[in-house]
Amino acid sequence: MDGILALIGRATLLDLVAVAVALVATLGVVVLVLRLRRATRQWSADRLEIARLHRWYEAIKAATREGLVLQTLGGAVLDLNPAACDMLDVEASNAVGRHINDLGLVVVDEHGLAMVPAGVFGARRTSGSPGRPAEPVLVGVGRAGLGQEMIRAVQVSTSFVPNGDGSAVAVLSLLTDVTNRQQTKAALERSETQFRVAMENAPIGMALVDLRWRLVEVNAAFAELLGTTVDALRGYELLALSHPDERAAERAEVARLLDGETHRFSQEKRYLRADGHEVWAVLDVALARTPDGAPDHFVVQVRDSTESRLQAEMLTHRAMHDPLTGLANRTLLQEVLQSVIEQPGAAGRLAVMACDLDRFKAINDRLGHAAGDEVLVHVAGVLRAAAGGRGTVARLGGDEFVVVLQDLDSARTVVEVAAAVHGGLREPLRFQRKRIAVRASIGIAFADADTLANGAPGLLAAADAALYRAKAAGRGRTEVYDPSMAASGVSTSLHAELTDALTNGQLTLHYQPIVALSDERVMGHEALIRWQHPQRGMLLPDQFLGVAEEAGLGVQLGAWVVTEAVAYLARCKDQTRWVSINASGDQLGDGEFVARVLWEISRMRVAPGRLVVELTESSLIDSGTRVRHELTQLRAAGVPILLDDFGTGISPLSYLRDLPVNGVKLDQSFTSGIPDDPAAAKVARALGSLARDLTMITIAEGIENVEQADFLYASGWRYGQGWLFGGGAAGDRAVTGAAPRRAIGAACAAVPSTLQE
């Protein structure tokens, strides 16, 4: 029993051990199962995290504008994003797994020298610890076989990709396409270079000025204008360089620019050079603004206008002064006299002295015009000395002078001046070993209610009346005007009437067409003066010009004709039409006529070739060197000169040879005899051949029928005028009428810009 029990006991212990072992094993399995389940869940979570990180990585690759290239340490491409594929012009599928040197890339440095791709994108470009990028490098990247223009500018930055223990496992290259940036930079550099080259080599002064009106940059032309150096001008206040009298105006214009009232301004002003001299310049200023509209700086140009201003002043001076004596001419005298009259209290303080030389024509006839000119210059000096700066001395034309005196005691002053003139002329003038006695008659008029009733013309007329009384009383004396002289002679009356006519607009110009005989196109016009007299109606030139010349008004009328004709040309729609005006030898010898011509065509901006001067042969007889000088000046300025009434003078061939004329006008006395008068036909044909051989302009006047026009054209005359093609018409109506022979529809078509053969 005990043994059985013992056996049972041992069996139970073994079972218990077995059970325990089984329980332990079961528990172990359970633990393993639990761990396995836990590991499975962790693995699933890790897979999800890996997938999430991969999606983030792919999103970053696709979204970033920079190129990403991942390589092994040996240079094999592990991955690259679309931006890198675009920059390197490769496909990801073809690039991954290949060495960076095998992708067919062309890499050049900033100097255009070839580089090894692995040296740019690989580990050798890195330095320092993993994760820290190396210094970026700028290279050009393209594909082999493509042109230079396909290379992109790429900035490459490389770094090691660290492992968990800090060691490097890969190389990451960051690529930034800076092509546009480089192109913009190059364009800016090119633009700046072009600007600097243009500025430094510009023939006019240029400068950049800051908002404080201080010079930032200037060119050599600006420094040369001011007589200094570029370095000396930098930082200098531009206003300090201006003439003190003009700084306020400049400051005001700059303020207007900054306030937005204007965008630019231009003014002619004076600058002070480093040597203390003044120079005239045209200042052009523009304000440069930032993109948001704020003022940034000024761009300044300074053009030297000293020479042009001097020329303008000389031209203005010549237009207002007699070229022979340097005295004021009729135009300036009228302005001065009118301005004095308009001042309060002119009556009693103003006197006019008219001075005319006695027997001056005899001096010209006996000794020649050179001696006459010398006499006029001498008299001008005597008048200046006598006036002593107390008034304006003028030469009106020929040997006619006027002195305007303004003084509190004008009666005493003008008598003193007249006495000084007579005294200064007592000593004979020496000319080429000859002694020339010069005497003058003087007329004086004081400003009072009667003489001022008609303004300046009335006062001059009163002085003229006194002058004529002095000549009638024996010459070489002085007379003072009184009302009894008002009706003393036709010349005084005509002087007043013509002066009133000029003032009141009674004189007009009519324009007669001059056509090309080949097709009757209107090529130009001749200006013909007309006087719409208030009592006698329309007066033609032969009814008043002769008496006007005797009264000394020829020069004044000639100047008026010039002004009106040039104004007509300036407002004419057809800027190719030309107009001819008539001038006498006396007008040319006076000098004021030529000055007025040059002044008016310059002032009205009319081409010189559009104004033509016609001279009659008879007016040039014994014309002297002064007329030749004036004609030469006109010819040099581009003003054509025609010899009118050709064939009627005593020496036409010598005129064609010696005078600077451009062409001739056949006198109508020859035209009227064509074709019935054989002699007239022969003369017309011979003169036309002569002028044509001399390459001169040929115009036939007085054409009244078709037969005359055809004959003259066949004889070599290029242009024609006369009743066949229309008479004179006032102003702009001159080109609107139809010629009797046929309508001239092409009146303004294909007209030459200058009269020429």
- Kindly state the average pLDDT of the residues 189-204: 68
For residues 182 and 297, which has the higher predicted lDDT (pLDDT)?
297
The string over 112-145, giving b where at least 16 C-beta atoms fall within 10 Å of a residue's C-beta and e elsewhere, is: eeebebbebbbbebbeeebeebbeebebbbbeee
pLDDT at 321 > cutoff 50: yes
Q: Do the strands 478-480 and 440-446 form a parallel or antiparallel pair, or are they unpaired?
A: parallel
Task: Tell me the CA distances in angstroms from 321 to 116, 313, 718, one per residue in order.
Answer: 85, 12, 39
> Rounded to an integer, what distance in angstroms lies between the CA atom of residue 483 and that of residue 31?
152
Which stretches of 556-600 are assigned E, i.e. beta strand?
A: 578-583
Retrieve residue 596's tokens: 């007025």
Model pLDDT, residue 538: 80
Q: How does DSSP classify residue 242?
A: B
Q: How confident is the model at residue 187 (pLDDT cuts 50, 70, 90)?
A: low
Position 273 scores a pLDDT of: 87
The answer to whether residue 502 scores a pLDDT higher than 70 is yes
Scanning 202-350, the segments in alpha helix (DSSP H) are 220-225, 230-233, 247-258, 306-320, 330-341
3-state secondary structure of 559: helix
Write down the number of H helices and E strands in the chain: 24, 29
Residue type, 237: E
Summarize pLDDT for 31-65 with one digit per residue, the tens. 777 777 777 777 777 677 677 766 776 777 776 77
What is the reported pLDDT for 721? Answer: 93
- Residue 126, pLDDT score: 45
What's the chain's average pLDDT? Answer: 80
Q: What is the structure's pLDDT at 741?
A: 43
Between 37 and 338, the higher pLDDT residue = 338
Report the 10 Å Cβ neighbour count for 261. Answer: 10
On the question of a cis peptide bond just before residue 660, with omega within 30 degrees of 0, the verdict is no
Q: State the pLDDT at residue 158.
A: 86
pLDDT digits (tens, 9 = 90+) for 676-702: 777 778 888 888 887 777 788 899 988
How confident is residue 735, by pLDDT bands cut at 50, 70 and 90?
very low
| Model-wide pTM > 0.85 | no
> What was the pLDDT predicted at 719?
93
Q: What percent of the chain has pLDDT over 90?
A: 12
pLDDT over threshold 80, residue 370: yes
* Pairwise CA distance, residues 440 & 400, whole Å: 10
Burial class (CB in 10 A: 0-12, 13-18, 19+), 644: buried
The model's pLDDT over 249-286, given as tens digits with 9 standing for 90+, comes to 999 999 998 988 888 899 988 998 888 888 889 999 99
pLDDT of residue 214: 92
Sign of the C-alpha dihedral computed for residues 689, 693, 694 and 695 taken in this order: positive
Kindly state the average pLDDT of the residues 5-14.
61
Residue 532: which of 495, 502, 493 has the closest Cα? 502
**Whether residue 525 has pLDDT greater than 90:** yes
Q: Averaging pLDDT over each range in 107-116, 207-216, 476-485, which range is the top one?
A: 207-216
Q: Where are the beta strands (DSSP E) in 447-577?
A: 478-480, 507-516, 522-533, 537-539
CA 248 from centre of chain: 26
Q: pLDDT (tens digit, 9 = 90+) per residue, 556-604?
A: 788 889 999 999 998 888 788 899 998 877 677 666 788 888 888 888 8
80 has pLDDT over 80: yes
Long-range contacts of 403-407 (CB under 8 A, 24+ apart): 403/352, 403/353, 403/355, 404/333, 404/336, 404/337, 404/340, 404/350, 404/351, 404/352, 404/353, 405/350, 405/351, 405/352, 405/353, 406/340, 406/349, 406/350, 407/349, 407/351
C-alpha distance from residue 74 to each of 123, 129, 199, 304 (Å):
8, 18, 55, 71
Give the pLDDT mean for 190-212.
Answer: 75
Closest CA to 440 of 378, 492, 515: 378
3-state secondary structure (DSSP) of residue 372: helix
Q: How far is residue 252's CA from residue 473's CA, in Å, rounded to a whole number? A: 64
pLDDT over threshold 90, residue 412: no
CA–CA distance, 356 with 8 (Å, rounded to integer): 181
Chain center to CA of 593 = 28
* Beta strand pairing call for 611-616 and 350-357: unpaired
Residue 376 neighbours by CB under 8 Å, 6+ apart:
324, 325, 395, 399
Structure tokens of 453? 């009733």
- Compute the Cα dihedral for 611, 617, 623, 628 and give only its sign: positive
